[in-house]
Structure 1
């Protein structure tokens, strides 16, 4: 295994390290992801039960168009990938400049440096 230079380590860190940008505590995802999946599947099972009950009450003479499994508008929950460290650092620097917390010139230089570090091997950069 070859040794990596500090610059290479930093570049890989910007690309591969991830940060929770969803807006909630990252530890809470351990409970909230399974809870959300469980709630979604519960809604689907409940919709199926209601549809089957409607079929049995009417004696099976119902159009397929009248029977809907699940409820409209459900299923909007999706897992959300964490953001790369480079995206998070760039976002924080841009917000700091917008709010007047730092001088724009050095921040722009630092953002450019981060983008150069985070350049992917194919030439595509972050954002």
Structure 2
């Protein structure tokens, strides 16, 4: 049961606290697209590290390992900068105002 008893206050809180997805695609597809975007990011990080580590074969000198580790870290950092980020949902008041259904 709500602790707010005033109906106008309830409506105001509802419009501020309720959120809507305004990502720009079908709302049902976001259910699959967001996890897929995160998956692609993780795959990209593993691929970046794997490309460097696959070049190391046989007995590698110590300085070669240090260089490879540094290269892996820099590639992973670059990959993380381009990572998938979901845009935050907008308050219901903003969505309705944009549609022209609320003043």
TM-score, with structure 2 as normaliser = 0.71
Q: Which residue of 2 aligns with 1:120?
A: none
User: Which structure dedicates a bigger proportion of its chain to helix?
Assistant: 2
Distance 1:41 1:65 in 2: 19
Matched, 1:92 2:96: no
Matches within 5 A, 1:1-20: 2=3, 4-20=5-21
Distance 2:47 2:32 in 1: 22
Matches within 5 A, 1:100-111: 111=103
Q: Which residue of 2 aligns with 1:67?
A: 71
Any gaps of 5 or more consecutive residues in structure 1? 94-106, 112-127
Distance 2:69 2:44 in 1: 19
**Is the contact made by 2:4 and 2:10 (CA closer than 8 Å) also made in structure 1?**
no
Q: Which structure has more RCO (C-alpha within 8 Å, separation ≥ 6)?
A: 2
Change (3 A) 1:45 1:66: same
Q: Which residue of 2 aligns with 1:56?
A: 57
Distance 1:57 1:72 in 2: 28
Any gaps of 5 or more consecutive residues in structure 2? none
Distance 1:26 1:73 in 2: 28
Change (3 A) 1:46 1:57: farther
Q: How many residues align?
A: 96
CA RMSD of superposed structures (Å) = 2.9
TM-score, with structure 1 as normaliser = 0.60
Deviation at 1:26, TM superposition (A): 1.6
